[in-house]
Amino acid sequence: MERRAFLNLGGAALGTMLLPPFGRAIAAEELVRPVETKFKKMLADTALTAATQAGASYCDVRVGRYLNQFITTRDLNIENVTNTESAGVGVRVIAGGAYGFAATNDMTPDGVAGAARQAVAIARANAKLQTEPVQLAPTPGVGEVAWATPFKKDWRTVPIKEKAELLIAGNKAGMEAGASFMQSLLFQVNQQKYFASTDGSYIDQDLHRLWVPFFATAVDKTSGKFRSRSGLSTPVGMGYEYLDGRKEDKFQAAGGVTTLYRNSYDLIEDARAAGKQAKQKLTAKSVQPGKYDLVLSPEHLWLTIHESVGHPTELDRVLGYEANFAGTSFATLDKWQSKKFKYGADIVNIVADKTTPGSLGAVGYDDEGVKCKRWDIIKDGVLVNYQATRDQAHIIGEKESHGCSYADSWSSVQFQRMPNVSLQAGKKQLTPDQMIKDVKKGIYIVGDGSFSIDQQRYNFQFGGQLFYEIKDGKITQPLEDVAYQANTQEFWNACTALCDERDWRMGGSFFDGKGQPSQSSIVSHGASTARFNGINVINTARKIG
């Protein structure tokens, strides 16, 4: 799905969302039948040979089969069930020191060889404008290897009826609890990615992901007011077992205001809470603007981390490669080189990884054949590293890539994309309830809402799903019309407390847009509940007409 289509999602806009019109709808038994490795290797070798014969000094080939199943619902109806399959081959080359890329859905030897030669022709045309040749950090060929997302239940084998009944049961629970309307979706993804390169790697990966968002909307027809509450699930890199809603994976938010989830999710329970809370929001107190101490739950904070740490530490942004679309970054090389740029308070430690089990970023190898790993981005509040791909590693003195290359399709060129970027838990024992006891005038925010940040990642504004007033160490009442505005560095330096690892969990994005043509990536961000002092809160209520 296009990111722009997803951006229209919301309590009122979901009904207008289009599901991807293309992709081969397939019967369940066909979904689980993989393409033979031998066939993929033959196609890859054909492309590698054609590219090198045409003059490429480097070539990589991605043979992709992308399977998705989308189920959309509105109230008590299933609106759509779509199985899609998209398969094809993308060939990236370096010739004359420049990149070229071509992709085709013609999965024949002639088709992929043609694409390889086309990629070389494009590279040669680009080479005329190249000032410096592309420089790739060495990556050892790993031969023939395989990696798969660990999962217990394969979504492809769960009957559609079972999934549909779960979604409708969730919608029904939400409506019975106070929502006037419910909309829910189930996104299920399987990417079968085969990577081969002239370095001598043949990497076969089988990746599984899942997300079950919903939107509960309550309407007061007398006043004309409406309010929504979105689900508190997170998109995950695991199987259908995420929807088991196991008892041991549930716990109470601070003050018992709602139930939260980790590792598995109870859709019906959360929908019921959402229906009730959406209705409550219609009469909640409108916030008084001013400075507050914010207590931010991981279900909310993941998005702030994503926008204010994840994106600005992407090396391609820092260097200016993204200047024309999503922008550049305030976290410039001189700040990193100084070894003393205080991105945040001393307690702020942020780590990048593509290895955390169950996360969206977890893969064995990236789309350049680099084995995935974990590294520090911010250590004791200081900026210490970025996120880099093979052609950027030398710029920051790294001998190898961080493994951050990703393409969203066989037909998209791979480039630097965000790994999981997570705030490490506090080292001292602290629960969210204990954290709140020390807050005199604050707001507790649960769930992600509206988000916006400038093109260098200084000024941001975030909303949320649930807001609670904190007065003299106690949660007193729900609030509405809350958004906070801050500057990235000031915000992270205002971080005064972090809950411990018992409270650490991940949120994430299924649709992180970047690049031109725009590509959609997936990424998780972990955190424990965190406190930020003296943050500017605005009131977002307006009257029109």
Partner 1 sequence: MKMLNQDDTKRITDKVLSLSKADECTVTIKGGRTGNIRYARNAVSTAGLVENTEIAISVAFGKKQGTASVNEFDDKSLEKAVRRAEDLARLAPENPEFMPTPAAVAFKSSSTFSAKTDAIDPEFRAQVAAYSIEACRKNKLVAAGFFTDESGFETIANSRGVFGHQQRTNVDFTCTVRTEDGRGSGWVRRDANDVSKFDARAASDVAIEKALRSVEAKALEPGRYTVILEPAATSDLMAYMFNSFDARSADEGRSFLAKQGGRNRLGDKLFDEQVNVWADPWHPDVPVLPWDAETMLAREKMDLIKNGKIAALNYSPFWAKKQGARAVGAPGNIVMAGGSKSTAELIASTKKGVLVTRTWYIRMVDPQSVLLTGLTRDGTFYIENGKIKHPIKNFRFNESPVTMLNNIDELGRPEILAGDESQFQLLIPAMRVRDFNFTSLSDAV
Find the binder of partner 1 among 16, 252, 337, 429 (CB under 8 A): 16
Regarding 396 and contact with partner 1 (CB under 8 A), the answer is no
Nearest CA to 436 out of 537, 297, 295 is that of 295
Q: How far is the CB of 364 from partner 1 (least distance, A)?
A: 25
Q: Which stretch binds partner 1 (CB under 8 A): 257-265, 339-347, 373-381, 537-545?
A: 537-545
Q: How far is the CB of 12 from partner 1 (least distance, A)?
A: 4
Under 8 Å CB-to-CB from 483, ≥6 apart: which residues? 449, 450, 461, 462, 463, 537, 538, 540
Considering only residues 437 to 466 of the shown chain, the ones binding partner 1 according to CB under 8 A are 450-459, 461, 463
Regarding 180 and contact with partner 1 (CB under 8 A), the answer is yes
Q: Which tokens in the block code for residue 409?
A: 């399709």
Tokens 């999981």 -> residue: 420
**According to the 3-state scheme, what is the secondary structure of 31-55?**
HCCCCCHHHHHHHHHHHHHHHHHCC
Burial of 12 (C-beta count, 10 Å sphere; 0-12/13-18/19+): middle
Q: How far is the CB of 355 from partner 1 (least distance, A)?
A: 27
Find the binder of partner 1 among 483, 495, 498, 530 (CB under 8 A): 483
Binding letters toward partner 1, positions 238-277, x by CB under 8 A: ----------------------------------------
- By three-state DSSP, how is residue 29 classified? helix
Q: Which is nearer to partner 1, 15 or 357 (CB)?
A: 15
Q: Which is nearer to partner 1, 324 or 399 (CB)?
A: 324
Regarding 118 and contact with partner 1 (CB under 8 A), the answer is yes
Regarding 32 and contact with partner 1 (CB under 8 A), the answer is no
Q: Which is nearer to partner 1, 254 or 318 (CB)?
A: 318
Q: What is the DSSP string of 238-250?
A: S-GGGGG--GGGE
Q: How far is the CB of 420 from partner 1 (least distance, A)?
A: 23
Output helix, strand, coil percentages for the chain, rounded to the nearest 5: 25, 35, 40
Find the binder of partner 1 among 293, 481, 503, 512 (CB under 8 A): 481
Query: What whole-number distance in Å separates Cα of residue 423 and Cα of residue 498?
Result: 9
Find the binder of partner 1 among 121, 333, 345, 384 (CB under 8 A): 121
Considering only residues 400 to 439 of the shown chain, the ones binding partner 1 according to CB under 8 A are 411, 413, 415
The DSSP code for 2 is: -
Q: Residue 486 belongs to what H/E stretch?
A: strand 482-487
Considering only residues 202 to 221 of the shown chain, the ones binding partner 1 according to CB under 8 A are 217, 219, 221
CB atoms within 10 A of CB 8: 14
Find the binder of partner 1 among 226, 268, 374, 394 (CB under 8 A): 226
Regarding 325 and contact with partner 1 (CB under 8 A), the answer is yes
Find the binder of partner 1 among 51, 103, 173, 207 (CB under 8 A): 103
Find the binder of partner 1 among 38, 143, 223, 247 (CB under 8 A): 223
Q: Which is nearer to partner 1, 42 or 78 (CB)?
A: 78
Nearest CA to 62 out of 235, 152, 197 is that of 197
Q: Is the peptide bond before 138 cis (omega within 30 degrees of 0)?
A: no
Q: How far is the CB of 6 from partner 1 (least distance, A)?
A: 10
Find the binder of partner 1 among 38, 128, 247, 339 (CB under 8 A): 128
Q: Which is nearer to partner 1, 337 or 450 (CB)?
A: 450
Query: What whole-number distance in Å separates Cα of residue 211 and Cα of residue 515?
Result: 23
Find the binder of partner 1 among 32, 39, 53, 130 (CB under 8 A): 130
Greatest extent of the chain over all pairs of C-alpha atoms, in Å: 73
The vertex-544 CA angle with 539 and 545, nearest 5°, equals: 165
Q: Which is nearer to partner 1, 78 or 345 (CB)?
A: 78
Burial of 171 (C-beta count, 10 Å sphere; 0-12/13-18/19+): buried
Regarding 384 and contact with partner 1 (CB under 8 A), the answer is no
Q: How far is the CB of 482 from partner 1 (least distance, A)?
A: 10
Q: Which stretch binds partner 1 (CB under 8 A): 159-167, 184-192, 233-241, 427-435?
A: 159-167
Considering only residues 41 to 100 of the shown chain, the ones binding partner 1 according to CB under 8 A are 74, 77-84, 88, 98-100
Q: Where are the beta strands (DSSP E) in 11-109?
A: 58-74, 77-95, 98-104
CB atoms within 10 A of CB 472: 10
Q: Which is nearer to partner 1, 82 or 259 (CB)?
A: 82
